[in-house]
Amino acid sequence: MEITEAPSREELVRRASELVPLLQKNALWAEENRRLPEESIEALTEAGILKMRVPTRYGGHESDMGTVVEVLAELARGDGSHSWTVAVWAISTWMVGLFPDEVQDEVFSTPDVRVSGILSPTAVAVPVDGGVVLNGKWSFNTGSQQSHWNTNAAVLATGDGGYEPIMVAIPLPDLRVIDDWYTSGLRGSGSVTTVAQDLFIPQQRVLSMGPVLQGRISSKLNANSPIFRAPFMPTACTTVGATALGLAKAARDAFFERLPGRKISYTAYDSQKDAPLTHLQVAEAVTKIDEAEFHAFRAASLVDTKGPTGEPWTLEERARIRLDLGAVCQRAKEAVDILNTASGGSSIYSSVPIQRIERDVQTLNLHAIMHPNTNLELYGRILCGLEPNTVYL
């Protein structure tokens, strides 16, 4: 086991910033080939970014949530698919830290291991001697073809005819891959479907979902680590919101990079930057980006504040993390929409980043756990004194 001194937040953000030009260069290739290029993965690995949520005893950083959000947002300035894939790897790697220590030893024995995962319990496990037999499939399995392990949700058949939600750790070679990721957005994330067929999972690699959602873990060695004391949903939701924030910043960068020398066709404006309409558009867009940033880091601050103390989370705090996630996505999309509208007809070419940013942020807003309307409704229910209509809090 290797324990190293973790890089500071400033250092990791600096490394992420230095990768932005490379990710921008590789974005079109990733979109056309529906996966990340090996050059990008090697660069992310070398920068230590994939170790942010790895336990320190395996050479990881155990980075706090504020660091994770800032790094992922910076990566999204380069490309949304790269940031989204790293976000999923970060969540799933963190999830491994909740499993028994012997399972962690097995997973992290692979150098620079990459772990992807799915929260939707779309497979069924049946108890057998020594473990379970798993059948089912998981769609939207981001980065799985370029991962070594999966942490996937399923339901366990109970003796009374019911089902219990569980999480399982699976080596990727044990799953069949269906290459079906033909989409309009986040194409480079390679979020294909994976299938388990009569797959035996030993008992130590089966984790009951109930305690996980409440922030109780099976690992003894991670029990006192601040990042592993935070509940699952606040951790996961705060992580993925960072990509939406970064895409909004990418749209801002892309717009202002093309602004000098642009005119507004079929008008008297020889310079777009002189038009009052442009002033209103950019001011509104940047305001929305600031609002998205507020929600992203408010969520991160709550996770980082409560993690070290072990203080119980209130129902409203859990729902507010979901609200913050929805608000990040909504404000980011609104900002991108404004800047995309102001980018003119020439922006539809595939070589111009704004059109890809628009499609990527739209895709994020359609994600079931990120959809603004779903999260607004959930938080509103809690404020009105009603019970939540989901266990994913």
Give me the residue spans of the domains in the chain: 9-113, 115-212, 230-383
Question: Mean pLDDT in each 10-residue stretch from start to end of the chain (393 residues)?
Answer: 77 98 98 97 98 97 98 98 98 96 97 95 95 97 97 91 93 97 97 98 94 81 91 96 98 96 89 94 98 98 89 94 98 98 92 96 96 97 95 89
Q: Which residues does 35 contact at the CB level (< 8 Å), separation at least 6?
A: 145, 146, 188, 189, 190
Superfamily of domain 115-212: Butyryl-CoA Dehydrogenase, subunit A, domain 2 (2.40.110.10)
Count of residues in the chain = 393
Cα distances (angstroms) measured from residue 206 to each of 69, 95, 98, 198 = 29, 12, 11, 15
- State the Cα–Cα distance between residues 139 and 35, nearest whole angstrom: 15
- State the Cα–Cα distance between residues 231 and 116, nearest whole angstrom: 19
For residue 118, the one-letter residue type is I
Q: Convert the pLDDT of each residue in 190-217 to its tens digit.
A: 999 999 999 999 999 999 988 877 777 8
In 3D space, the residue among 321, 143, 335, 339 whose CA is nearest the CA of residue 241 turns out to be 321
Say which CATH topology domain 230-383 has: Butyryl-CoA Dehydrogenase, subunit A; domain 3 (1.20.140)
For residue 358, the one-letter residue type is E
- State the Cα–Cα distance between residues 28 and 14, nearest whole angstrom: 24
pTM for the whole structure: 0.96
**What DSSP state is assigned to residue 263?**
-
Residue 135's DSSP bridge partners are 124
Q: Which residues does 225 contact at the CB level (< 8 Å), separation at least 6?
A: 55, 62, 97
The pLDDT of residue 223 is: 87
Q: Which two tokens stand for residue 227?
A: 């990042």
Q: Give the rounded distance of the alpha carbon of 385 from its chain centre.
A: 30
In 3D space, the residue among 335, 336, 345, 334 whose CA is nearest the CA of residue 272 turns out to be 345
The pLDDT of residue 39 is: 98
The pLDDT of residue 314 is: 95
The pLDDT of residue 3 is: 57
Phi, psi angles (nearest 5°) of residue 139: -85, 170
The pLDDT of residue 362 is: 98
Domains 9-113 and 230-383 share a fold: no
Residue entry with tokens 């990733």: 30
**What DSSP state is assigned to residue 58?**
B
Do 60 and 49 form a contact (C-beta atoms < 8 A)? no
Cα distances (angstroms) measured from residue 327 to each of 91, 142, 267, 285, 310 = 20, 23, 36, 14, 26
Dihedral (Cα; 129, 163, 176, 84), 10-degree rounding: -130
Instruction: Using CB atoms within 10 Å of the CB of residue 159, give its burial: 0 to 12 exposed, 13 to 18 middle, 19+ buried.
Output: exposed
Say which CATH topology domain 9-113 has: Butyryl-Coa Dehydrogenase, subunit A; domain 1 (1.10.540)
In 3D space, the residue among 38, 46, 28, 212 whose CA is nearest the CA of residue 117 turns out to be 212
The pLDDT of residue 309 is: 83
Phi, psi angles (nearest 5°) of residue 184: -90, -20
The pLDDT of residue 209 is: 87
Q: Which residues does 297 contact at the CB level (< 8 Å), separation at least 6?
A: 66, 69
The pLDDT of residue 14 is: 98
Do 100 and 169 form a contact (C-beta atoms < 8 A)? no
Do 327 and 248 form a contact (C-beta atoms < 8 A)? no
The pLDDT of residue 96 is: 96
The pLDDT of residue 4 is: 63
